[in-house]
Amino acid sequence: MNEKQAKAEESIQKKFHKRLFTPFAKACKTYRLISEGDRIAVCISGGKDSMLMAKLFQEIQKHRQMEFELVFLVMDPGYRPENRALIEENAASLGIPVTIFESTIFDTVDVIEKSPCYLCARMRRGYLYSRARELGCNKIALGHHYDDVIETILMGMLHGGQIQTMMPKLHSTNFPGMELIRPMYFVRESDVIAWRDYNDLKFLQCACHFTETCSTVCEDGTSESKRLEVKQLIAELKKDNPFVEANIFKSVENVMLDTVIAYKKDGVRHHFLDDY
């Protein structure tokens, strides 16, 4: 074990145990994300969140509360050579035995004018499901964290005109028998950043082709995206109400259907006047 790997793992076990491992393990238990006999494809984009997720999976596997297997899966959708190299170097130095496969997603979305990011995300997930199934996996794990969840809730309301959340796990509609899980569901982004900086680690900023023109070590805040706008809005609201983030998160756990005008379930719209 090299020095960088040893420090990263020790920091998870000690300094950042309560801030990273505890919420990771809590999400796995609360939402029953890991089951006996699972073979999980831990999907690594090269960013801070997915790299930390890989280390947390390695750590929870050491506890041996149940037997499950891990495959650390990296898809190269068309990275520039230096970005591909950075992922490989980080994986090697952190002791993550990655399996890498190529796709042509970036070439495909380059010619798309409308919603290229949405299409890219959908295609990436399809490729990951497909390769994970080929490798005998029954689940794929993505590195979305607590902040992603609350930002998604607000984005849906402000920009999508709907109330929805990023689910901690869900069944794949196109790959029967496969599930998607998000074990970083309770982990705060600030704690991920603190772990990264404490260990002096440099990761890709984003898996997206359209941000690759940035330096591979540039920080959040360089992209004027809708998500960034929502992130800044939450930060402003938090100045007056320190509980605003928790309240946003809890809001989708406490939906009062008696006070909702309409809702959809399984694609069917229900209106309050139906039973008024």
pLDDT tens digits along 155-204: 999 989 999 999 999 999 999 999 999 999 999 999 999 999 999 999 98
Q: Is the pLDDT of residue 43 over 70?
A: yes
Q: Is the pLDDT of residue 223 over 50?
A: no
> What is the fold, at CATH topology level, of the domain defined by 3-145+165-207?
Rossmann fold (3.40.50)
HSE-CB of 130 using CA atoms within 13 angstroms: 10
Break the chain into its structural domains and give their ranges: 3-145+165-207
Q: Find out whether 41 and 69 touch, Cβ atoms under 8 Å.
A: no
Whole-angstrom Cα distance, residue 276 to residue 263?
A: 15
Whole-angstrom Cα distance, residue 4 to residue 14?
A: 15
Q: Is the pLDDT of residue 117 over 80?
A: no
Average pLDDT value for the chain: 89
Distances in whole angstroms, Cα of residue 272 to Cα of each of 156, 157, 249, 266? 21, 20, 25, 17
Average pLDDT over residues 68-85: 91
- Number of neighbours of residue 101 by Cβ within 10 angstroms: 14
Q: Is the pLDDT of residue 231 over 60?
A: yes
Q: What is the pLDDT of residue 217?
A: 35
Q: What is the pLDDT of residue 114?
A: 62
Q: Is the pLDDT of residue 115 over 60?
A: no
Q: Is the pLDDT of residue 209 over 90?
A: no
SS3 content of the chain, % helix, strand, coil (to 5): 50, 15, 40
**Nearest to 11, CA basis, from 94, 115, 125:** 94
